[in-house]
């Protein structure tokens, strides 16, 4: 019901559709339900989060940590090239 939140959601979803890197979950569809509620459909990714893996195994070996960071930076590079600035990087 918050128009500004809906507008922000829609803007961010449209931006995410433009990302095609393998390091970001793909947005497959977006729209608005008859009730006015916006929705976003993303690909289903199977695996675990970095946080979960760190909890399970402890700190990454150096080569794994470097690869995780390189993949993250690849995704950010693509986003920035498209004019997308991520506001909530974790």
Known catalytic residues?
Answer: 88
Kindly write down the DSSP assignment for every residue of 11-74, as one continuous string: HHHHHHHT---TTSPPEEEEEE-TTS-EEEEE----S--HHHHHHHH-SPPHHHHHHHHHHHHH
């Amino acid at each position: 019901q918050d128009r500004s939140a809906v507008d922000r959601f829609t803007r961010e979803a449209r931006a995410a559709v433009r990302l095609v890197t393998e390091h970001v979950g793909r947005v497959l569809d977006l729209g608005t339900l008859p009730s006015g509620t916006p929705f976003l459909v993303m690909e289903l990714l199977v695996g675990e989060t970095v946080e979960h893996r760190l909890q399970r195994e402890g700190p990454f070996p150096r080569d794994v940590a470097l690869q995780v960071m390189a993949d993250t930076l690849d995704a950010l590079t693509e986003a920035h090239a498209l004019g997308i600035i991520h506001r909530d990087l974790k």
